[in-house]
Every structure is written in structure tokens, then in C-alpha cells.
Amino acid sequence: MSMGQFIELTDESNGTLDALVADILAEKVSVFDLLRAAPSGDYWAFVQKMRLFRVLGRDVRILKLLRGEMNVEMVEAGVDPHDGAIERERARKDGSRRFAKLVRAQTFSGQPPLLSGATFEACLEQYKALLEHVERMWADACEFYTRGNYPFAAFFSILVIEEIGKLSRLAEDLMHYDLPRAAAQSGTVERSHRRKHFMGVVSGALINARLERVLGKDIIRKILHQAESDELEKIRQSCLYIDVQDGRAVTPSEAIDAERARVLTVLAGELMAEVLGYFPWEFERMLDSVIAFERSIGMPEKKIGRR
């Protein structure tokens, strides 16, 4: 099987799969190259590739080969795969507990899929429309920030994070476009602000070296706490409503300054690319937009540049 071809998994594909497994184990086919083989922009090929890999991933021998290939890639990129840096940073963020909580939140929501098309093409159109909604909302947040309306920039950024949490399952729904789906009913989309904040932030910030470089490790740990508690929800409300603090009325403009709006707007864009940029070409498009905004507000190139 060539790198440009993908198996549409059916009951008749077992023979082809067996041959592919044999080639991988004989190291005639690289698992890493197979993962990167779908042509750019070809949603169908990419989905079939990922479905194929999930089947191949049931074979521990293939997973072992993939781990070895990934270690080689890391070494070539100047990263020591055995230095324990990722594990240490995850521990500093209470990563094991938060990741387990994230899995429970995403698995046991009991909600039907967000895509309801009868065909792959119909589901893909719905998928793109939902992504476009989030990208436009983030662009609005950037516009508010540029105009100096920091409360609205922060508010729209938090809305983006909520939608990221709500849509964090979107790629999975597209992967299962042809499986029987429960009928969607009104009120089935996630409504809890706190749950959406948690899913949106933890999905993209728990392990994200770029985000830590752009905003700083201490800020990311603080944001993780805010997303898990009620603090991010309180910030969201302070973006819109006059509140009373220490015996006096405080306006949104007093509660939300430029720095808080900057952090939230950058955070929302970075999370959008990390979580919703499932297809490589979409990730690249989103990240280009995020870097352009970061550059426009004067963030240092050494922090925001690609590596």
C-alpha cells in the first residue's frame, strides 16, 4: 500500500490491513510517515488515515515502533525524550488529576454528536460552519482589544474558550460520521459555563510548550486554576456588569484592564488553534492568525515565533 492511499475500513479490508501491518513490522513502512501521509486539504483522506491508525494502534508492536520513531524525531529536534521535563511540568500543573477529570467530562456528558449530516460531506459542512463561528468570534475579540474596549475583548475571549470546550469533541464526531447517532434534542448542548471553561482550557493548556512560552508558566498555572474554579466565570461577568467592591461601584472598564484582556485574547486564540485545529492545514491557518495578532500588539518575536 502506497503512502498516498488510505483504506476505507470495511469488513473486506482485513487482507489489506494484514499486509500493511506486516510492512510496518518489517519497517518497510514508517508509522510516523503514515500518520503524516494524507494530502493537505483532503479531509476525507485525513479522516480515513486516523481511523486506520486507531485500528493499527490496537497492536502494541506498532505502538512500540511509533514510540521509537517519535523519540528519533525529538532527538533530531534537539529535545531529550528521556529527561522527564514533560512529566515534571505536568506534575506542577496537577496534570494527572486534571487530565482524568477532563476525560470524565468529555466521556460522560451523555450528549448526542454535534454533527447530524446524513453523509460525510454534509457532516463536513457542519464541521466547517462551527469552526468558522469560533474563528469569527475570536476575530471580534481581537478587534475589541485593538480598539481599546478591553472588557468586551475579554468577554468575547472567554466566550471563545467556552465554545472551544463545547466543540472539543467535534473532530471525534466527524471521525464517526457513519455511525448511528442519537437524535439531537433541544437543551442537549453543554450549558455549564464552569464545565466549558474547564474543558476548553485544560484540553489545550495542560501540555502546551508554545502557550507556556507565549504567556509564561506561572500565568498558565493560574489560568488552569481559574478555569477549574468559579474565577473565570466571575471574570466573565465583570466584563459586562457593574459590581460593588469594598463599598463602591466598579465598572467593567475598571475591573478589566489591558493586561488582563491581552492575556485572555491571546489565550483564546492559542487554545483555538491547539484544540480545534485538528486538521494540520486548519491548525496552520489558525496559528498564522494568532501570531499575526500577537505581533500586531507588540509581543516579542522570540516568544511568538514558530520553532
Q: What is the pLDDT of residues 176-214, one digit of tens each?
A: 999 876 655 544 556 678 888 888 898 898 889 899 999
- The pTM is what? 0.86
Taking the C-alpha atoms of residue 170 and residue 228, their distance in angstroms, rounded to an integer, is 22
DSSP summary character for residue 108: S
Buried/exposed 264-277: b ≥16 CB within 10 Å, e otherwise: bbbbbbbbbbbbbb
Taking the C-alpha atoms of residue 134 and residue 142, their distance in angstroms, rounded to an integer, is 13
Taking the C-alpha atoms of residue 285 and residue 138, their distance in angstroms, rounded to an integer, is 14
Burial of 143 (0-12, 13-18, 19+ CB in 10 A): middle
Residue 3 has pLDDT above 80, yes or no: no
Task: Please name which of 66, 43, 47, 51 lies closest in space to residue 13, comparing C-alpha atoms.
Answer: 51
3-state helix, strand, coil in the chain (%, to 5): 65, 0, 30
Residue 109 has pLDDT above 60, yes or no: no
260: amino acid identity, one letter: R
Confidence of residue 80 (pLDDT cuts 50, 70, 90): confident
Residue 274 has pLDDT above 70, yes or no: yes
Q: What SS3 class is residue 245?
A: strand
Residue 169 has pLDDT above 50, yes or no: yes
Highest mean pLDDT among 46-50, 168-172, 175-179, 292-296: 292-296
Distance (Å) of CA 231 to CA 162, 183, 246:
14, 35, 18
Q: What was the pLDDT predicted at 8?
A: 54
Q: Name which residue leads in pLDDT, 120 or 207.
A: 120
Please count the other Cβ atoms lying within 10 Å of the Cβ belonging to residue 121.
11
Taking the C-alpha atoms of residue 64 and residue 69, their distance in angstroms, rounded to an integer, is 9
Task: Please name which of 189, 175, 196 lies closest in space to residue 112, comparing C-alpha atoms.
Answer: 189
- Residue 249, beta-bridge partner list: 244
Confidence of residue 215 (pLDDT cuts 50, 70, 90): very high
Q: Name which residue leads in pLDDT, 126 or 89.
A: 126
The rounded mean pLDDT for the chain is: 87
Average pLDDT over residues 137-144: 98
Beta strands in the chain (DSSP E): 243-245, 248-250
